[in-house]
Amino acid sequence: NYKLKTKTKMGRVFFDTVENVQNLGAAYQVLASDSNKTFVLDLAGGFVVTLPADATTNIGWNCRFYVKTASDAAYLIKCANVSGDQFVGGFSVASTTAGFGHAVLAAANDSQIAFDANLANGAGEPGSYMDIVKIAANNYAISGFMISDDADSTGAAVLSNI
């Protein structure tokens, strides 16, 4: 007495699909529903991106920003509540011209990230990225890699308390 095993059919399978990637070419208000999304920054004129209000997101909310097109006018990533929310953590910055790198740590109350390709001690060349994860009320951990063509950039101008 043998029983034949039945095979479960696979439903529809799609290949070469990309989810949770959004190209940005203008100012944007990030939504709580944008968690786990990658934003591609793509306008030479730059623009402002505002993170969602702290009360609308849970711990673990996260996103990533990638620079596709360098901006000399800056892509500014701001906390919704610049006097209450802050970034913690840090990132690496490397120079395309000098072959060195630096570690940059957030200071108390830093609430803005500037991807600016020509800012002294800044960074934001194509390929630069920053991950943001909410780790506690009003606290967003950052980590990433920023690229600068400033031969002596320290990366100190990337973060600020606005």
**Which tens digit of pLDDT belongs to each residue from 76-134?**
999 999 889 999 999 999 988 767 788 999 999 999 999 999 999 999 999 999 999 99
Q: Are 118 and 68 in contact (CB under 8 A)?
A: no
pLDDT band at 151 (very low <50, low <70, confident <90, very high): confident
Q: What is the CB neighbour count within 10 angstroms for residue 79? A: 25
Residue 141 has pLDDT above 80, yes or no: yes
Question: Residue 66 is inside which H or E element, if any?
Answer: strand 62-67
What is the chain's mean pLDDT, rounded?
A: 90
Q: Is the pTM of this model over 0.85?
A: yes
134: nearest Cα among 124, 142, 146, 126: 142
